[in-house]
Homo-oligomer: A and B are copies of this chain.
Amino acid sequence: MTCVPTFQRAADLRHACRTGAFRRETAGQAPGALQANLMLLPREHAFDFLLFCQRNPKPCPLIEVVCDGGLEPRCAPGANLATDAPGYRVYRDGECVDERDDVASLWRSDMVSFLIGCSFSFDGALQAAGVALRHIELGRNVSMYRTNVACTPAGIFHGEMVVSMRPIKSRDVARAVELSARLPIAHGAPVHIGHPAALGVQDLGRPDYGDSVPVLDDEVPVFWACGVTPQWVAQCSRLPWCITHAPGRMFVTDLPG
């Protein structure tokens, strides 16, 4: 994760994940390509989770759903969902029990794969408009926090929203809102600006996921709904079994971001 992406093309990045050559966060990679959070679970819980996404489109904007154990989404021809993200997590009864480079050996014929939009996709739009993004400048993963904002439950799924935070220069906050609002598939406009405590976030310096990124004096903390929400919701709901990507290590699609 640097200012200069290692891979320009999404297909090349996916191939590097498959061969083990790329095992890092994907922020800034394959500029212009839509990045996706992954939630992979058995058909038994697929209706409830699809409904959860429908009811919570800010944290869970759906790009695509692949049924019946399919491995190749339409948004990434030639890809393999079981091998082409840089890292995976396996959850059992809501707890993360394993981190893996690929999940091919765990694949099921009734797997339903949910590809959910990612805020990394608007980072490029913000940078192109001259909005500084310090996590990218610092070479760090974005900061992510659990909040006290309850998602709308659906079946067995319930829990609070996870947010990503970017420190934005106060002069650029309105522009950051306008630009991200145009990209609902990448979580759209921020869910909160300015007061972490209003979200139940007590210490910005200690994110629940990702890296710490200090907020400078002339900056405002801006919070977007985050695609890690399903992982926290799986924990809250004690979901019997699922696979996700590792936070920050996304599946990169061929769709324009």
Q: Are A155 and B51 in contact (CB under 8 A)?
A: no
Answer yes or no: A199 CB below 8 A from chain B CBs: no
Cα A67 to Cα B46 with chains together (Å)? 14
A43-57 vs B, CB cutoff 8 Å, 1 = contact: the mask equals 100110011001100
Cα A55 to Cα B54 with chains together (Å)? 12
Closest-CB distance, A199 to chain B (whole angstroms): 24
- Using CB atoms, name the residue of chain B closest to A114: B54
User: What is the total number of copies of this protein in its complex?
Assistant: 2
Closest-CB distance, A114 to chain B (whole angstroms): 10
- Using CB atoms, name the residue of chain B closest to A43: B47
Cα A67 to Cα B55 with chains together (Å)? 12
Chain A residues 185-233 with CB under 8 Å of chain B are none
Answer yes or no: A62 CB below 8 A from chain B CBs: yes
Cα A65 to Cα B67 with chains together (Å)? 21
Which residues of chain B have C-beta atoms less than 8 A from A155's C-beta? 67
Which residues of chain B have C-beta atoms less than 8 A from A154's C-beta? 67
